[in-house]
């Protein structure tokens, strides 16, 4: 593969953009979802960059995470190993405030499982992280806070190594038919 630019890098829209995350969805990596990419009018795959459909076994689902507003973020970082090899590190961070049976029950799964994350940012972009190798918890810690106004909750960090920049999802509606009807609060 040639590592050369093939197009100009430009800003094609003139609109406001807001930073931050609106929604976080998780798929269990071992559910083996299949991803279909956007197609051209003639039926050929456009460019393997935009996912238009996610298919899961009927017994599987996509789970939405209810996080504390303003605590979710993600990164897609280039990393270089000691021999000069390059790869991507995908990371998702969020905090959930509940400390109850449901949180503890799902907390074990979050602590020990591997996931694909779908992030919807506040500008409406949907991004798929950990699509090939999954993300696993590097942190799932509770802090109570000491003063009345202190933040409290489960700080969660999921991270993983990938060989691709995170793919875009055509839009959040691709998730809707297969997302759990009950929101799971880890």
The residue length of the chain stands at 186
Residue 149 domain flag: yes
pLDDT confidence band for 137 (50 / 70 / 90): very high
> What's the N-to-C CA distance of the chain in angstroms?
41
| Residue 186: per-residue pLDDT | 52
State yes or no: pLDDT of 150 exceeds 60. Answer: yes
Burial 105-136, CB ≥16 within 10 A → b, else e: ebbeebeebbbbbbbbbeeeebbbbbbebbbb
Residue 16 domain flag: no
pTM over the 0.75 mark: yes
Residue 185 domain flag: no
pLDDT tens for 53-108 read 998 888 888 999 999 999 999 999 999 998 989 999 999 999 998 888 888 888 88
Residue 136 domain flag: yes
* Total tally of structural domains belonging to the chain: 1
The CA radius of gyration of the chain, in Å to the nearest whole number, is 18
| Residue 28: per-residue pLDDT | 95
Comparing CA positions, the residue from 123, 122, 119, 101 lying closest to residue 184 is 101
Residue 130 domain flag: yes
Residue 9 domain flag: no
């Amino acid at each position: 593969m040639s590592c050369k630019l093939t197009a100009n890098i430009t800003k094609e829209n003139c609109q406001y953009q807001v930073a931050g995350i609106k929604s976080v969805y998780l798929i269990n990596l071992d559910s083996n979802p299949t991803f279909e990419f956007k197609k051209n009018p003639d039926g050929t795959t456009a460019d393997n960059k935009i996912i238009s459909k996610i298919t899961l076994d009927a017994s599987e689902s996509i789970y939405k995470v209810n996080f504390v507003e303003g605590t979710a973020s993600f990164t897609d970082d280039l990393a270089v190993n000691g021999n000069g090899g390059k790869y991507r590190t995908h990371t998702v961070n969020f905090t959930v405030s509940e400390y109850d049976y449901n949180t503890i029950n799902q907390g074990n799964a979050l602590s020990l499982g591997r996931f694909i994350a779908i992030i919807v940012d506040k500008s409406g972009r949907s991004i798929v992280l950990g699509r090939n190798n999954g993300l696993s918890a590097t942190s799932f810690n509770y802090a109570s806070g000491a003063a009345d106004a202190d933040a409290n909750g489960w700080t969660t960090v999921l991270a993983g190594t990938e060989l691709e920049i995170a793919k875009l999802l055509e839009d959040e509606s691709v998730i809707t038919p297969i997302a759990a009807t009950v929101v799971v609060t880890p």
